[in-house]
């Protein structure tokens, strides 16, 4: 089974080389290099954190805290090429801590009230569809929600997700497959052609 | 729904995401061309993936401004400190080797001492027939010394 991103290996290699260079510079205290890394990851991390915390404000706090922690811990990062996975792991731990402090939300309808409506102005799809997708994802089990978020909103491949989650590639693939099947059912009115 | 449709339904989710071996892809594509039910399902799965891929919100544009003041400047490692660090490392290594040698010298078992008395007595016995030889005299002195 191949990953969705497997066709872009050359482009990815170039990206990894560029990123490793930025990480190296940021390690030695180069703030503009770190800002470039921030620009490259902030949206992915924000969407990732939002799916765990269920709240855009909390997600923004998680992103902020993640980059501050990353800056302080960067000199201790051994391999520059694992920066993305390492950053996601920091965000995952912070987002989980934040989510634990908030009341448990069981009913997806309630998520809207607690977290506010998604912002249609910044979205690529209609507010109605976005709301439906957001609710459908929020209703998934965490293990499915995280792989979906990292894959679709974070653009991460199976290898990188496995690295962040600390599980084998096969587990990521089966979770992704299961999550897609559930979401397809939940989103029937939006994805079935009439 | 045919038996083949049921088999294909299990593979469609991954197929819609572009996964699967070339042989499997060819098998599914051939089936889908002839089966409108599976074709609709495949399209619905592809639409789901597209919808998910579009679900991306941007964080507030001024988020970096909130992060930036919290990043403490890191002093770039200077050449002097590099030299000092390496000098310290090599000095520590030399001291460790010297300490190891000293410890070995103290604790290592000594070479068995030469049994001087036994040799002299042996010489005295061997030179009994030449009583005026130096070695006989030495042996005699030793024998007398031992008796006392």
pLDDT tens digit at each of 148 positions of chain B? 678 888 888 889 889 988 888 999 999 999 999 999 999 999 999 999 888 888 777 888 899 999 999 998 877 555 556 666 677 788 888 899 999 988 888 887 666 556 766 776 776 677 667 766 666 666 666 666 666 6
Asked, for residue A119, whether it belongs to a domain, the answer is yes
Tell me what pLDDT residue B64 has: 94
Q: Residue A191 has what pLDDT?
A: 86
Query: What is the predicted pLDDT for the residue at B75?
Result: 72
Please count the structural domains in chain A: 1
For chain B, give the longest Cα–Cα distance: 129
d(CA B148, CA B136): 18
Establish if A5 touches chain B: CB-CB under 8 angstroms. no
Domain locations in chain B? 3-54, 116-147
Contact A66, A90 (CB under 8 A): yes
Residue A32 resides in a domain: yes
Structural domain harbouring A125: 6-191
Among B43, B54, B59, which residue's Cα sits nearest to residue A133? B54
Nearest to B71 among A31, A187, A190 (CB): A31
Q: What is the pLDDT of residue A168?
A: 95
- Nearest-CA neighbor of B13 among A144, A51, A44, A9? A144
Taking CA atoms, what residue in A is nearest to B60?
A: A60
- Give me the phi and psi of B93, to 5 degrees please: -65, -45
For residue A166, the distance in angstroms to the closest alpha carbon of chain B comes to 22
| pLDDT at position A63 over 90 | yes
Considering only CB atoms, which chain A residues are within 8 Å of B18? 2, 4
pTM equals: 0.63
pLDDT at A181: 92
Domain-embedded: residue A1: no
Structure confidence at residue A59 (pLDDT): 92
User: Do the chains contact at A72 and B52, CB–CB below 8 Å?
Assistant: no
CA atoms within 13 A on the CB side of B61: 1
* More reliable by pLDDT, B76 or A189: A189
Quote the ipTM score.
0.72
CATH code, A62: 1.10.1740.10
Domain membership of residue A53 (yes or no) is yes
A73 touches chain B (CB under 8 A): no
A109: closest CA of chain B, how far (Å): 18
Of B40, B45, B55, the CB nearest to A152: B55
Environment class of B36 (CB within 10 Å of its CB; exposed 0-12, middle 13-18, buried 19+): exposed
Query: Is 70 exceeded by the pLDDT of residue A123?
Result: no
Inter-chain CB proximity A133 and B44 less than 8 Å: no
- Assigned token pair, A32: 């503009």
Q: What is the average pLDDT score of chain A?
A: 81
Indicate yes or no: CB of A34 within 8 angstroms of CB of B71: yes
């Amino acid at each position: 089974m191949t990953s969705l991103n497997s066709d872009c290996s050359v482009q990815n290699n170039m990206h990894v080389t560029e990123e490793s260079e930025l990480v190296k510079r940021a390690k030695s205290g180069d703030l503009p290099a770190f800002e470039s890394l921030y620009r490259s990851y902030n949206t992915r991390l924000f969407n990732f954190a939002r799916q765990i915390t269920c709240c855009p404000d909390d997600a923004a706090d998680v992103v902020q805290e993640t980059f501050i922690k990353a800056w302080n811990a960067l000199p201790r990062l051994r391999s520059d090429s694992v920066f993305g996975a390492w950053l996601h792991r920091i965000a995952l731990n912070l987002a989980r801590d934040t989510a634990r402090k908030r009341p448990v939300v069981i009913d997806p309808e309630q998520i809207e009230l607690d977290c506010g409506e998604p912002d249609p102005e910044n979205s690529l799809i209609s507010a109605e569809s976005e709301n439906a997708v957001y609710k459908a994802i929020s209703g998934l089990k965490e293990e499915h929600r995280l792989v979906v978020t990292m894959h679709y909103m974070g653009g991460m491949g199976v290898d990188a997700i496995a690295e962040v989650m600390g599980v084998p590639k096969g587990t990521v693939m089966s979770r992704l497959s299961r999550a897609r099947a559930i979401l397809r059912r939940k989103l029937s009115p939006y994805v079935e052609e009439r | 729904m045919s038996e083949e449709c049921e088999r294909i339904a299990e593979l469609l989710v991954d197929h819609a995401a572009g996964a699967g071996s070339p042989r499997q892809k060819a098998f599914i594509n051939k089936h889908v061309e002839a089966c409108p039910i599976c074709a609709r399902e495949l399209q619905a799965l592809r639409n789901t993936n597209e919808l998910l891929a579009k679900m991306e919100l941007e964080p507030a544009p001024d988020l970096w401004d909130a992060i930036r003041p919290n990043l403490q400047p890191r002093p770039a490692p200077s050449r002097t400190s590099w030299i000092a660090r390496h000098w310290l490392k090599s000095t520590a290594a030399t001291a460790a080797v010297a300490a190891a040698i000293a410890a070995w010298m103290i604790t290592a078992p000594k070479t068995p001492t030469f049994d001087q008395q036994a040799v002299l007595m042996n010489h005295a016995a061997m030179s009994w027939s030449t009583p005026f030889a130096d070695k006989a005299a030495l042996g005699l002195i030793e024998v007398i010394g031992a008796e006392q």
